[in-house]
Structure 1
Amino acid sequence: MSESGDSQQVGTYLARQLAARLNASAIATSNEEYEEGRTLIGDEYDVILEQYATVAAGTDLEETAEQFNLTREQQREIIASAQQLNQTATAYQQAVENGNQEEARALARDLVQNASELNQSTTTLVQQYDQLETQTNLNFDPAQDALNTSQRRLTQAAAAVATREFTETNLTVRPARSNLSAAEPTTVRGRLTAANGTAIANATIQVGIGEDTVTTDTDANGTYTTTYQPLVVASDASTLTATYTPEPAAPYLSSTATTPIAVRGQSATSITVTNATTTARFRDSVDVSGYINITGVDVRSTAGLPITVQVAGEQLARTETTTNGGFVVQAVLPERIPAGETTLRVALATEDLILGPSNTTVPLTVVSTPTSLSVETVTDEQETQNVSVTGRLTTDAGEPLADRSLQLHLGDTPVETVETDATGQYQTTIDRATIAAEGQTLTVQFAPTGSSLEGSTAEQTLPIASTSPVRRPALVGGILILLGGGSLLVSRWRDGAVWTQLRSRLGGTATTQLASPTPAETQTGEPAVAATRDDSRVRAETSLIDRAQMALDAGDPDAAVQLAYAAFRAHAAEVVTDAPQTHWELYEQYQEDHAEATEVYQLTTAYEQATFAPDSVSVETAQTVIGILPSATAGFDSASDGASVSDD
């Protein structure tokens, strides 16, 4: 059988399991066994659904997998609603037995309302089962029959409670004219009675179009009179509605009345700004407050009117007015607003409303923001063909600038364009063969356009050849900046004490020059050149560790894991001769030499997810990976030391 045939059989098997659980869950819910109903479509259902989704990936079954999930979620909601309704019914029965009429009516009203909502949800779920049955050719009659039975039972129970506790009502609505004016109020009258014609006094009636309503009360005869002027309504509105919503303990059911209308004319509006920001720079808060005036309207609530705030034609925020027409807006000034004199515009967004448009402007000065750019190069003696280039772009206040393009030049020749990461850092490599004698100066340039950010430039002199790692800090804006180097730097830490030394160096002075030892040997007896090389590797590795932690602190766990793995990989390249090319080959080689390889496996799987998977690794996983580096690399050191002894 072909692979596609195997997948189809597996998919069919899993679909049957999912269907069986859905059917059983619906039956349990109908029998008021709510916990059983939840369990059947709980964790085990999740596992099966995940397996089904894996098989369905890239096929026509993907839509079916989504349908299985949607149906399960809707059934969960049905279970929760049915259980809540059952509890309300029990509480209602208890209130009736205790003679608490007021509480009984309040519970009865909840019961009737919730039963109506549950009926609608059940109808939707039954339709979902129809679609699922069509897609899978599986039988969902047990689930649908159970849902329909439960729906009938609840409908009958709610109707019985409503008949016992409440009286039907009738409501009318009559505007003085069918063409309502947006420029002036229209008188609206009506009456509320019980089903037998008895007037219902002191009842609250809402009159309006959609959510744009006014409130009034009925008199002793059940009549009401109010004035209504449409404000926050669509220009094509066609129905005026009156609604009676009784108090929870009232012995009446709600009722609604409608009448056809048309809306003509417009109400004049104006905007008054009471306070506004006058000067701002990139990432500053731009604040503005004020209120809307509507001609001829002084007693109506003017809440919900849409307000927009723009700077230089760029919309910064959208909000709505409060009850008295007031508004307060706070927005962050984006980079794309150029520096200079501009205006802050506040407008009433009335594109789809009958209100007349209005806007007002106030002056705003956008101040440019200086930036700071660093560049650092590292030449690895084991990777003589490449020069690693790293650096960071920030504002003058030290805020990282992410996702910005930087242009690299060797002399006057463009080399490439790189992007900064979430921490403002960038990294690339340059082939040493491209570094000609006349092109030894590397220039990194940030040259934004249409922005309030100022450009910045950093330069570094590149070596044509080198026999040992070279680290050169760049002087930018009068500040000496030293950041971590490339992703394949090598160093060695042999135990926890060296790891502690590495971490402690992160807080050291970045501008300290690295002096070579003057004696021929260090205090440990090692040659001075070797000691300098080891110290350089420690600093290089510290840079990777530092950048991994910085990436994690900046909310980029994927980058943190990749940088941590780079440190591990570099260490492996230093210790293992002819290190494997892929991450899994390296792990397999490590496993051959070590009985315990759990931490290296954890590091490898985290790196694979961070690099190749669509979902990011968690912050916790990234922090764990950074934490296990000392012991993971210590295994390579011990293996290397053992090999040296055996060779002797």
Structure 2
Amino acid sequence: MGVDDGGPALNRQVETPTDDNETQQENPDSVSDGEYSDETAAWLARTMGGQLENSSIALSNDQYDQARSVLGDDYDKRLEQYVEVAGDTSSDTDDTAAREFEAAGENQRNLTNEVQRYRQQYAAYQTARERGNEREARVTARAMERTASNISDRSKKLNQNLDRIENATSVDLSSGQTEINETTANITATQAVIREETLVGTTLTVQAIDSTASFSDPGTVSGQIQTENGSVVADEAVELRIENRTRTVQTDSSGVFETQYRPRSARLGSQSVRVEYVPDADSVYLSDNATFAIDVQQVTPDVTSEIAPETVGYGDRLNATASVTVELRGVDEVPVEFAIGDTVVARTTTGSNGTATETIRLPASINDGDRQVVARIPYENRAIAGAQSETPVVVVMTRTDLSVNASRTAEGVLVRGQLQTGAGDPVAGRPVRLQVGAGGTQLVETDRDGSFQTVLEDLQNNESVTVTATYEEPTSNLGNATATTTLVAGSGGGNPPVGPDENPATGFVNGIIGYSWLPIFGGGAVLAVIVAAWFVVSRGRRSRTTDSAVPAGETAASMTGPDQTGAQPDATTPTFEDRAETSLASENYDAAAMVAYTAVHDELAVENGIDEGATHWELLQRSQEHGVPEERMTDIETVVEAFETAAFAPTSVDPARAEAAVERARKIKSNGDS
């Protein structure tokens, strides 16, 4: 049976929007104090609306690069101008339109990527069919199912954006919507033909045999898998995904199976639990999902913990182990936090035997003295109750040495230096206060080498002046330190520093980092109460290539990039692309999200010097503190949110979010490698 190639019947050329309004030529950069703001906003809205429509036309003509470039830097610039002007207009709807223009641009770009991917997959499918490779055709057809579904979802969201823009502005976007709908309808029709040719639809039915379920007393669930022609998937070992956990069950001659539901992260009370039939990647069968209702009840686990050694200082290894059991049965795949005082030093998950182990580098933020290491399950109103165990530890103070050097430049006084422990190890990510003479002070943050560098105002001009650097944190296990150096009158360079290090600080990494205390990225008050999924990278004293923790289910050999000795991975080691594509092809969306996060975490840790044990949300915060652009922060947030759902949410990552996380990870890695 022949099929359409998924392309549109239209072949219109991309046009440049024009109108006769004299404000079309108004330069938004020259408009100030609200002058002509309404007219400028209208012109910007028409311009961006035209760009959205032109992108849709280019997409319908298979001009993918053109469709993306139309929404490139110029669109982003116009959007920034629109956001600025919207604050000065007489209408409140402009603020709404600004948000929709931003979302529409993102959805249009993603739709372009998905459509291009679909047509590439379609070409591969045709080739496999022509060669008689039915297995490859089925694998590709299944991947196309996922892509076609993503296109449908993205198209709906984009149409919503365009409807809201039309409601909030005078811009007519109907032509663009027509192009989008025709492109989507064409792909939907093409996929229906492919599904008929190659795949067999299924129907999954499930029901709870028991009325209640808990971890200690699981509920029995029965189900059946039928095909669309009325037959059954009989006498087969099939994979089911219940919430975010997969298992293999055996169907009988009637396609019926039984399994147990043992809740962990599910909320209490009557719950609708999702079950998905997950065929093999090369199976002829399509997946299906259904739900069953059951009353989830709570059990309180026993939590025990051990740590070693009993005395630690800054940067020392602290080996922490927690065991979570219910009636002597290990509780697997539940989150565990290790905290000292108010500081969470590690987050991980229990393994198959209910044990979680972390090697922690003691951070500077924990005060010295007698402390308690708390191992806790951060759950509330879940099937597994929140519980904790405490183990004492003694945190000792570590002496620090500070060096500083200064010289006069045309811009002011160039100050640089380094913060180290008494043993000579660099101290990263700590605030150092700088002062020139009796002038004001400025805080800078040490980088991964413990170095800092900035330019201060020279109020004394060419007079002799003392430059002082001070490290002092009241709640820290690092001792205070001060260093000074003197700039001689008329001198262009500083004298050797006065302090523990008698040699001028040289060879420091450039890059001025203004130190400030920032709120947690993305609504910290909300994020703080989310039951999160976590990934921790233990910080070595000199580089991030040592002592990296690996998330549950991963091995060190599976990580991409240099190994822990700095050597490149073996040629047979799967790359990020390999692992991501394998996970997506097998419809293991949780694994795809985990792979995407691991790649992004590694990239950002190297790029921004985030070498302290950081949770995924802290990774966002520290990336923002290091000045990562807003667009990239949005990409990182997409990956992080998918990762959180994959690791601990009661439900799995949906295909669109997993695809988006992998796509954003590709983008982040590509920018990092360029």
Give the alignment's TM-score, normalised by structure 1.
Answer: 0.61
Distance in 1 (alpha carbons) for counterparts of 2:347 and 2:308: 16
Select 2:382's aligned residue among 347, 353, 366.
353
Kept in 2: contact 1:232–1:304 (CA 8 A): no
Distance in 2 (alpha carbons) for counterparts of 1:44 and 1:297: 59
Select 2:327's aligned residue among 295, 298, 306.
295
Q: Deviations over 1:59-95 (max 9, x none)?
A: 6756645543432221121112112212323333343
Cα distance change of structure 1 residues 340 and 197 upon mapping to structure 2, 3 Å threshold:
same
Amino acid paired to 2:296:
V
Select 1:453's aligned residue among 478, 488, 497.
478
Q: Would you say 1:403 and 2:440 are equivalent positions?
A: no
Equivalent residue for 1:41?
71
Kept in 1: contact 2:201–2:287 (CA 8 A): yes
Q: Would you say 1:556 and 2:588 are equivalent positions?
A: no
Select 1:131's aligned residue among 161, 164, 185.
164
Select 2:335's aligned residue among 297, 306, 314.
306
Kept in 2: contact 1:376–1:389 (CA 8 A): yes
Secondary structure at 1:164 match in 2: helix
Q: Deviations over 1:389-422 (max 9, x none)?
A: 9987654337467424589999xxxx97664554
Amino acid paired to 2:51:
R
Cα distance change of structure 1 residues 115 and 388 upon mapping to structure 2, 3 Å threshold:
closer
TM-superposed deviation, 1:344: 2.0
Q: Would you say 1:159 and 2:231 are equivalent positions?
A: no
Select 1:266's aligned residue among 280, 284, 299.
299
Equivalent residue for 1:278?
310
Select 1:366's aligned residue among 376, 384, 395.
395
Select 1:334's aligned residue among 348, 359, 363.
363
* Farther-moved stretch of structure 1 (126-135 vs 440-449): 440-449
Cα distance change of structure 1 residues 407 and 243 upon mapping to structure 2, 3 Å threshold:
same
Distance in 2 (alpha carbons) for counterparts of 1:40 and 1:286: 53
Equivalent residue for 2:354?
325
Larger Rg over CA atoms: 1
Amino acid paired to 1:322:
G
Amino acid paired to 1:230:
P
Secondary structure at 2:145 match in 1: helix
Secondary structure at 1:360 match in 2: strand
Select 1:180's aligned residue among 195, 210, 213.
213
Secondary structure at 2:46 match in 1: helix
More helix by share: 1
Secondary structure at 1:199 match in 2: coil
Amino acid paired to 2:312:
A
Kept in 1: contact 2:445–2:514 (CA 8 A): no
Distance in 1 (alpha carbons) for counterparts of 2:295 and 2:171: 51
Equivalent residue for 2:42?
12
Kept in 2: contact 1:281–1:366 (CA 8 A): yes
* Farther-moved stretch of structure 1 (256-265 vs 317-326): 317-326
Distance in 2 (alpha carbons) for counterparts of 1:356 and 1:461: 60
Secondary structure at 2:296 match in 1: strand
Equivalent residue for 2:581?
none
Kept in 1: contact 2:271–2:293 (CA 8 A): yes
Equivalent residue for 1:598?
none
Equivalent residue for 1:25?
55
Equivalent residue for 2:26?
none
* Farther-moved stretch of structure 1 (21-30 vs 283-292): 283-292
Secondary structure at 1:173 match in 2: strand
Q: Deviations over 1:536-571 (max 9, x none)?
A: xxxxxxxxxx6xx63xx1642789xxxxxxxxxxxx
Q: Would you say 1:145 and 2:173 are equivalent positions?
A: no
Cα distance change of structure 1 residues 112 and 313 upon mapping to structure 2, 3 Å threshold:
closer
Distance in 2 (alpha carbons) for counterparts of 1:416 and 1:40: 48
Kept in 1: contact 2:436–2:458 (CA 8 A): no
Greater RCO (CA < 8 Å, at least 6 residues apart)? 2
TM-superposed deviation, 1:474: 7.2
Q: Deviations over 1:171-208 (max 9, x none)?
A: 33233311123322333222222244423124455567
Q: Would you say 1:189 and 2:145 are equivalent positions?
A: no
Distance in 2 (alpha carbons) for counterparts of 1:349 and 1:241: 24
Secondary structure at 2:380 match in 1: coil
Select 2:116's aligned residue among 39, 59, 83.
83
Kept in 1: contact 2:215–2:299 (CA 8 A): yes
Distance in 2 (alpha carbons) for counterparts of 1:147 and 1:461: 67
TM-superposed deviation, 1:138: 0.5
Kept in 2: contact 1:280–1:286 (CA 8 A): yes
Distance in 2 (alpha carbons) for counterparts of 1:190 and 1:445: 68
Kept in 2: contact 1:183–1:296 (CA 8 A): no
TM-superposed deviation, 1:141: 0.3
Alignment of 1:506-521 (within 5 A): none
Kept in 2: contact 1:208–1:230 (CA 8 A): no
Amino acid paired to 2:169:
T
Alignment of 1:542-553 (within 5 A): 550=508, 553=509
Kept in 2: contact 1:310–1:317 (CA 8 A): yes
Identity of aligned residues (%): 27
Q: Deviations over 1:302-356 (max 9, x none)?
A: 5431011112343212122234434232333233322223232222223242224
Distance in 2 (alpha carbons) for counterparts of 1:249 and 1:441: 73
Kept in 2: contact 1:309–1:318 (CA 8 A): yes
Amino acid paired to 1:153:
N
Amino acid paired to 1:556:
I
Q: Deviations over 1:444-490 (max 9, x none)?
A: 87654233222346799999xx999998767646x65767xxxxxxx
Kept in 2: contact 1:85–1:115 (CA 8 A): yes
Kept in 2: contact 1:269–1:294 (CA 8 A): yes
Distance in 2 (alpha carbons) for counterparts of 1:444 and 1:33: 57
Amino acid paired to 2:512:
D
TM-superposed deviation, 1:26: 0.8
Distance in 1 (alpha carbons) for counterparts of 2:364 and 2:343: 11
Distance in 1 (alpha carbons) for counterparts of 2:481 and 2:140: 69
Give the alignment's TM-score, normalised by structure 2.
Answer: 0.59
Distance in 2 (alpha carbons) for counterparts of 1:147 and 1:49: 21
Q: How many residues align?
A: 476
Cα distance change of structure 1 residues 235 and 205 upon mapping to structure 2, 3 Å threshold:
farther
Gaps of 5+ in 2: 1-22, 24-30, 516-624, 630-674
Kept in 2: contact 1:303–1:324 (CA 8 A): yes
Cα distance change of structure 1 residues 156 and 367 upon mapping to structure 2, 3 Å threshold:
same
Kept in 1: contact 2:431–2:471 (CA 8 A): no
* Farther-moved stretch of structure 1 (1-10 vs 28-37): 1-10
Distance in 1 (alpha carbons) for counterparts of 2:210 and 2:146: 34
Distance in 2 (alpha carbons) for counterparts of 1:430 and 1:25: 54
Alignment of 1:471-486 (within 5 A): 476=499, 480=502
C-alpha RMSD of the superposition: 4.6
Select 1:250's aligned residue among 279, 283, 291.
283
Amino acid paired to 1:184:
D
Distance in 1 (alpha carbons) for counterparts of 2:280 and 2:204: 16
